[in-house]
Amino acid sequence: MSVSTSYPISAATARHLNRPVFGHVIDGEVVASLDGETMPVIDPATGDEVGVAALGSAADVDRAVRSARAAFDDGRWRYLAPLEKERRLRRLAALVEESRTLFGESDTIDSGLLRWYTDAMVDFAVGSTEYFAGWPSKIEGTIPPVPSDMVAYQLREPHGVLGLIVPWNGPSAVLAFVAAAISAGNCVVLKPAEQTPMTAVLMAELAAEAGIPNGVLNVVQGAREAGAALVEHPGVDAISFTGSLGAGSAIQAAAAKRAKPVSLELGGKSPFIVFPDADLEAATAAAMMGVWMASGQVCTAGTRVLIHADIHDELVERIVERSRDMRIGSGFDPESQLGPLVSADQLARVQSYVGIGQEEGAELVLGGARHGDVGYFHEPTIFTGVRNDMRIAREEIFGPVMSILRFADEAEAYAIANDSEYGLGAGVWTNDLSLAHRAARALRTGQVWINTYQAGYPSVAYGGVKLSGHGRLQGGPGIDELTHVKSVWIKVGAPL
């Protein structure tokens, strides 16, 4: 099997790449699909096939759900003492940390994301696992006041078997979702994205090594069919989905047939608003990072850059000049500032939106073309003169395309920002304290970042409103999402 990169990789990653197949993990065993079907694993920097993964069917999903169901129903995990769960989750975090190069390199081969970014995703995964390792002994119930001949208490209980369906733009970061779900006592069937099957197998293997019982984390590789089978399976109690709006709404509709709770983390078209008093140097760097990071394949990408008329031309010039010389290349090249898109489909999608932007009358001031003819690279692309009714201002492109809009005053900034079907993130750049707080209230999004962008921490809730989804990951609200409340009543008789 060819190794995907001319850059050196660790011996552990080379061994991982040499697996005959990136299989499912069911009941602690790495297995092939029952029907033997596979799918290719493609390195987006070269377009080369670097391996094969199992392509799961409904029959494989059924095996995984039975395993998770048994693990939940016999209580091998949920009835384990809270501190013991915590010890094992901490061990899992430590094992992933020890294998950080393997995870980071595998993610770069699989997704094309730059090495610093895949390292940051591993840090996020480890940090989140450490954070959620602290929860099992702290998921408390409450005792509400009731008439004095009764006692009632409310328990927070895990949903049971959780189907976790995820996208490709942070394959190792998915460990954060897994750690949250199992810290709350759930058993999980994870369906990684078909583009990035490599690291989920490692997660499940290290979970077993950390003492997390078989069946608590199962992995079914595959595409939409496997995801759909997971959603529909009667043995699955709840669904947590991160991905596109189209898939998310199909999943919610399918889950409704069995009244399953669903949390949806979907896309965005996040406004990044710069007021005239802002620190323009910091705003320039953040605007660039907000769209070029991961080549724009980030749900919170700040792809609608709203600039006050007084500083519009100056800020545009700064962003364009600094973006012009960005180095495009393999995620393994430490000099690269922009890596490839994940797939040929994603490249074609970005190219089609460049055409749409031009047809709509926006001015293409930078980029606009595919870069090279190997792999799936695209130039950083900037449109100015964008109106908020253009498709490049309304639709999520998920690529390195920045749409710049001009506003005249605060009210117009909020009106443009909120005139979107999405509501994931928003950035505000100002040194006016009152304006900053007004903006935080006015913007209809799940996150507002002021003088920073895309900050996050495992203790802080994350999620969207409107078509960006519902439900929260991370923090206490993330635990609430993964549990339900059971009320217990006891008749004790009238007080003596």
CA 125, 301, 292, 454 dihedral sign is negative
**According to CB under 6 A, which one of 181, 204, 299, 416 is a site residue for ligand NAD?**
299
CA gap 67, 188 in Å, rounded: 10
Among this protein's residues, is 412 annotated catalytic? Answer: no
**What are the residues facing 381 on neighbouring strands?**
401
Q: Is 223 in the site for ligand NAD (CB under 6 A)?
A: yes
Within 27-86, the residues that bind ligand NAD by CB under 6 A are: none
| Residue among 227, 331, 340, 423 that touches ligand NAD (CB under 6 A) | 227
471 binds ligand NAD (CB under 6 A): no
Q: Look up residue 71 and give its two tokens.
A: 């693990």
- The binder of ligand NAD chosen from 104, 185, 243, 296 (CB under 6 A): 243
Q: Determine the Cα–Cα distance for residues 125 and 179; give it in Å rounded to an integer.
A: 9
Name the nearest CA neighbour of 294 among 111, 49, 110: 111
Annotated catalytic residue within 265, 379, 396, 481: 265
String of DSSP letters for 258-295: TT--EEEE-----EEEE-TTS-HHHHHHHHHHHHHGGG
Half-sphere exposure of 59 (CA within 13 A, CB side): 9
Distance of CA 458 to the CA centre of its chain: 13
CA–CA separation, 244 and 349 (whole Å): 14
Residue 391's contacts (CB-CB under 8 Å, 6 or more residues apart) are 353, 356, 357, 360
Shorter beta-carbon distance to ligand NAD: residue 427 or 464: 464
From 105, 110, 119, 194, residue interacting with ligand NAD (rule: CB under 6 A): 194
Kindly tell me which residue out of 126, 181, 236, 266 binds ligand NAD, with binding defined by CB under 6 A: 266
CB of 244 to ligand NAD, least distance (A): 3
Classify 200 as helix, strand or coil: helix
Q: Which residue is nearest to ligand NAD (CB)?
A: 227
Q: Which is nearer to ligand NAD, 158 or 469 (CB)?
A: 469
**Contact (CB, 8 A) for 132 and 458:** yes
Residue 302 touches ligand NAD, criterion: CB under 6 A: no
Part in contact with ligand NAD (CB under 6 A); list of ranges 39-47, 265-273, 308-316, 401-409: 265-273
Question: What is the amino acid identity at position 311?
Answer: I
Nearer to ligand NAD, 215 or 446 (CB): 446
Question: Is 281 among the residues known to form the active site?
Answer: no
Nearer to ligand NAD, 112 or 136 (CB): 112
Site of tokens 């320039």: 284
DSSP secondary structure of 218-268: EE---SHHHHHHHHH-TT--EEEEES-HHHHHHHHHHHHTTT--EEEE---
CA-nearest of 389, 396, 390 to 467 is 396
Mask: binding to ligand NAD, 404-443, rule CB under 6 A, as x and -?
--------------------x-------------------
Q: Which among 86, 105, 194, 299 is annotated as catalytic?
A: 299
**398 belongs to the binding site for ligand NAD (CB under 6 A):** yes
Q: Segment 126-185, which members bind ligand NAD (CB under 6 A)?
A: 165-169
**Cβ closest to ligand NAD, residue 58 vs residue 94:** 58
The Cα 283–Cα 324 span in angstroms is: 17
168 or 377, CB closer to ligand NAD?
Answer: 168
CB of 177 to ligand NAD, least distance (A): 10
CB of 136 or CB of 478, closer to ligand NAD: 478
Q: Please list, residue by residue across 36-57, b when 16 or more beta carbons sit within 10 angstroms of its beta carbon and e when fewer do.
A: eebbebbbbbbebebbbbbbbb
* Residues acting as catalytic residues: 265, 299
Interface positions with ligand NAD (CB under 6 A): 165-169, 191, 193-194, 223-224, 227-228, 231, 242-244, 247, 250-251, 265-268, 299, 396, 398, 424, 464
